[in-house]
Amino acid sequence: MKKLKIIYWIFTGLLAVLMSIGSIPDIIMIPEARTLFQHLGYPMYLLPFVGVAKILGCIAIVVPGFNRLKEWAYAGLFFDITGALYSHITVGDPASVWLPLLIGYVLIFGSYIYHHKILKAKGLTYAI
């Protein structure tokens, strides 16, 4: 069980750091974030919303308990990365721009899988 928790917290900690660092420029709407959003074709009012949503998702996956909320947070973070990947590919960005997003998928899936392994080891099952 200890090994599961260590692996879970490695994935979850890295995921939370990655998504939090990516959300701060969105929330404060720095020029680089605005330029990226314009390049992808999104309206500026969406930028702080996405940033706040990512921060709330990170909080939800880090705080113990609240399993239903964690499920929603994992889904939201997954959709955020998927939307970013799709957007970059759609506007014709080269793979060097969008390939690093795959790290986000690895972290989300690792955290999610080990979250459920811990629940199973505790004898808890979580059905949506």
State pLDDT tens for residues 31-84: 999 999 999 999 999 999 999 999 999 999 999 888 889 999 999 999 999 999
pLDDT (0 to 100) of residue 50:
95
State pLDDT tens for residues 21-39: 999 999 999 999 999 999 9
The pLDDT mean for the chain works out to 92
| Helices 67-90 + 2-28 axis angle, to 10 | 50
Torsion, CA 30, CA 31, CA 32, CA 34, rounded to 10: 90
Mean pLDDT of all residues in 118-124: 83
